Structure 1
Amino acid sequence: MYRKIDFHAHYLSPGYKKFLKDYFDDHGDGVKTPEYTIDTTLATMAANDITYSLISLSSPHIANVQDAGLASELATESNDYAAKQQATYPEQIGYAATLPLPYVDASIAEIKRARQNNATGFTLPTNAAGTYLGDPRLDPIMAELNQQPTLVMLHPNEPQPMIPNVTAELPAPIMEFFFDTTRAVANMVLQGIFTRYSNIKFIIPHAGALLPVIADRMSLAQKLNPQLTDDQVDLISTLATQYFDVAGLVLPHQLPILQQMTDPTHLLYASDSPYTPAPQVKQLTQALENSGLLSAATKQMLFYKNGQQLLTELNQNKAQL
């Protein structure tokens, strides 16, 4: 097996578990809440030769409480839990802090607090109770994140509003998550997020969702809306410069399409544990390891080298501050 660094692994703090039970009857996004302790993460790591995991909360996002004070309390509790795991297993565990979006003042306060608690990075939902990334109301939060070199991992959320009478039988992670990631990143490009906040290194999940498929199509928007600038529709250039995790079923079709849009140095391994059960994590990981669609050099980069370099650069930048 290849050594690995995992950029898309989840944890469930006690407060987040209670949130899922209270608001979703333990079926957030239509998925049964998995059993979890930090041993779950460590077991997944041992079974798949993962040397370091960057843990974060999954969806549903805490914005579903629709209360700034309660969302802030949930963010604080979950981040403190993750910081404790990092302190206990510093060579194996890092964490991406959750923010109480869309509440600006509370989110800025949590950014500052999480940095003091040695957060490795931050995780942002594609939308927080219907407020999508790229919304100008979130600009102060982006500006705060941009104050220093920062890692930001995007995570899909259930679209808002949902359309109940179409594909209602399909759990949101199967299809709607891809749509929401695509929608959010396209909105970020339109609003200049990737260029205006260049100190942020973004990781786009699930091999870019549908973004590589629509990248050429986005430029056509200028024919229908001539007020759009070239930069606002230049999804191709954006995809060439961002990082992508490969969580989920990315072979045989999705990952090769993404590789046409970005080079192998921007690919990052991801288990999506524990929402992807341990046997499936093993199966998907082995599919990547054994695939003839990826060169040995690409596999080395995807599994370990890219992540090692990214984290090393971030740590060096922090040390200089």
Structure 2
Amino acid sequence: MSEHPEVPVEGAGTRVRAAGGAAPPGPVRGHRIQPKIDMHHHFCAPEWREWAVHHELIEPGQLPRWAYLGAEDAVAFMDRAGIGTAVLKPMLPARYRSSAQLREAITITLRSAMEVVRAHPARFAFYVPLFLDDLEASSWAVRRGLGQLGAVGVNVTANYGGVYLGDPAYDPIFAELNEFSAVVDTHPHHLPGARPGRTTVAGIPDFLCDFLLDTTRAAVNMISKKTLDRFPDLSVILPHAGGFLPYIAPRLEALGRFCDPPIDPASVRHHLRRFYYDTAGPMAPAATLLAHVPADHVLFGTDWPAAPQDTVMDLALPALEADPAFTPEQLGGIYRENALRLMPQLATV
């Protein structure tokens, strides 16, 4: 592992180290902080792209342009944003013809992620991608990625074929993840019934509204099924500040009794405080979020490269820095310390 250059901390008699040669981070309302940890950083393995095209799982040019940005592009962005370490969220979107083919796709992606980690010491960690509609392949991926390859958690989507996180169908995998005390990173996808290549509402990209609803549905279903009570050693991250969940929390407490089974208001409050939330955005002002969740459960995330660099640098970061709901100390935790408490292994990647 490479040596970390030291960065001065204003008003302190000690010095801290910037991970992997990252540029010194900018000030947080007059304070200096250690390099940020990006918990929402997309990754499309070039080896997987070539393999998927070869097997006619995707068409050449089908993926968005940002999916072709590589590790060097990522490092350049991270240095500009003051990010020391990014946790890679693998994307390998395709309809696989068999469980064996899915395992091959996951193997290729994990191998590529590990090569990025080796090539850029201290700059990257990675999640294991799971496909919960294939329980056998998911169980294998958990054992392989968490048990053998050093992944820091797993990544799942909010729903698979309309079956949302929290559904009892996924209990075997969640039980296995619970044994690992795993971090389960979630991400939205298209809403059930969405037509490939077409937005739900003409002219409005699905990521603008539908993705937030997808995350909200998954969170509410996990609350309804008491997922975090039944699997108490899991840590679940909700992206994009939890979607609409913080805004509908009072509604869920008041009207959850109409769900089947009825949702206890105390369970709503308990789960909201147990979930983690990343800041990938731009996100709305955080006052509503902090009315329901502790600040130490908020994690920094950029959504790069799905979110272009100018969106992160010119909109999301300045808004987060200026948000009056966060104190400087809370921002320091969001940028780094909260992630280290959740994933201590990030201090030694």
TM-score (structure 2 length as normaliser):
0.80
Q: Select which of 288, 296, 299 maps to 2:331.
A: 299
Structure 1 counterpart of 2:136: 105
User: Could you tell me whether the CA contact under 8 Å between 1:13 and 1:81 is conserved in 2?
Assistant: yes
**Partner residue, 1:144:** 176
The CA distance in 2 between the partners of 1:108 and 1:300, in whole Å, is 36
- Asked if 1:167 corresponds to 2:201, the answer is yes
Indicate the residue corresponding to 2:23 in structure 1. Answer: none
1:62-108 deviations in whole A, cap 9, x for unaligned?
4x436433322222211221122223334111001102321011110
Matched, 1:194 2:228: yes
Q: Are residues 77 and 125 of structure 1, via their aligned partners in 2, closer, same or farther at CA, if it must alter by over 3 Å?
A: same
Count of matched residue pairs = 309
Counterpart code for 2:267 = D
Q: 1:287 to 1:220 in 2, by over 3 A?
A: closer
Q: 2:307 — aligned with what?
A: 276
Task: Determine helix, strand or coil for the equivalent of 1:234.
Answer: helix
Deviation of residue 219 (structure 1)? 3.1
321, 324, 347: which one pairs with 1:289?
A: 321
Aligned counterparts of 2:297 and 2:36: Cα–Cα separation in 1: 15
CA distance in 2, matches of 1:86, 1:106: 24
Distance 2:157 2:346 in 1: 22
Deviation at 1:188, TM superposition (A): 1.3
Moved over 4 A (4+): 18-22, 24-28, 163-166, 313-316
Q: Is the 8 A contact 1:56 1:123 kept in 2?
A: yes
Out of 234, 248, 269, the residue aligned to residue 267 of structure 2 is 234
Task: Report the Cα distance in structure 1 between the residues aligned to 2:87 and 2:123, rounded to whole angstroms.
Answer: 9
For 2:156 and 2:333, the matched residues in 1 are separated by 25
1:203 pairs with 2:242: no
The structural deviation recorded for 1:250 is: 1.0
Aligned partner letter, 2:226: G
Q: Distance in 2 between matches of 1:214 and 1:292?
A: 22
Q: Flag the 1:246–1:131 CA change in 2: closer, same or farther, 3 A.
A: same
Letter in 2 for 1:78: T
Q: Which residue of 2 aligns with 1:181?
A: 215
1:118-154 alpha-carbon deviations (Å, 9 max, x no partner): 1111111101233321121111111111112211111
Question: Does the aligned pair in 2 maintain the 1:61–1:125 contact within 8 Å?
Answer: no
Equivalent pair of 2:41/2:87 in contact (CA under 8 Å): yes
CA 315–114 in structure 1, closer or farther in 2 if over 3 Å, else same:
farther
Hey, what's the Cα distance between the residues in 2 that align with 1:43 and 1:314?
Answer: 20
The separation in 1 between residues aligned to 2:136 and 2:245, in whole angstroms, is 31
Larger radius of gyration: 2
Are the aligned partners of 1:83 and 1:119 in contact in 2 as well (CA < 8 Å)? no
Q: 1:188 to 1:16 in 2, by over 3 A?
A: farther
Query: Which sits farther off after the overlay, 43-52 or 77-86?
Result: 77-86
Q: Aligned partners of 1:214, 1:229: CA distance in 2, in Å?
A: 14
TM-superposed CA distance for 1:228, in Å, is 2.0
Write 1 or 2 for the structure with the bigger share of helix: 1
Question: Retained in 2: the 8 A contact 1:72–1:100?
Answer: no
Distance, in Å, in 2 between the alignment partners of 1:165 and 1:150 is 34
Letter paired with 1:304:
R
Decide whether aligned partners of structure 1 residues 118 and 235 sit closer, same or farther in structure 2, where only a CA change above 3 A counts. Answer: same
Aligned: 1:125 with 2:160 = no
Identity %: 25
Q: Any idea what SS the aligned residue of 1:65 has?
A: coil
Q: Which has the higher contact order (CA 8 A, sep 6+)?
A: 1
Distance in 2, Cα, partners of 1:158 & 1:69: 25
Secondary structure in structure 1 of the residue aligned to 2:68: coil
Ranges in structure 2 where 5+ consecutive residues have no aligned partner: 1-25, 27-32
Contact 1:7–1:54 under 8 Å retained in 2: yes
Residue 279 to residue 70, structure 1, CA distance change in 2 (3 Å):
same
Which of 99, 108, 116 aligns to 1:68? It is: 99
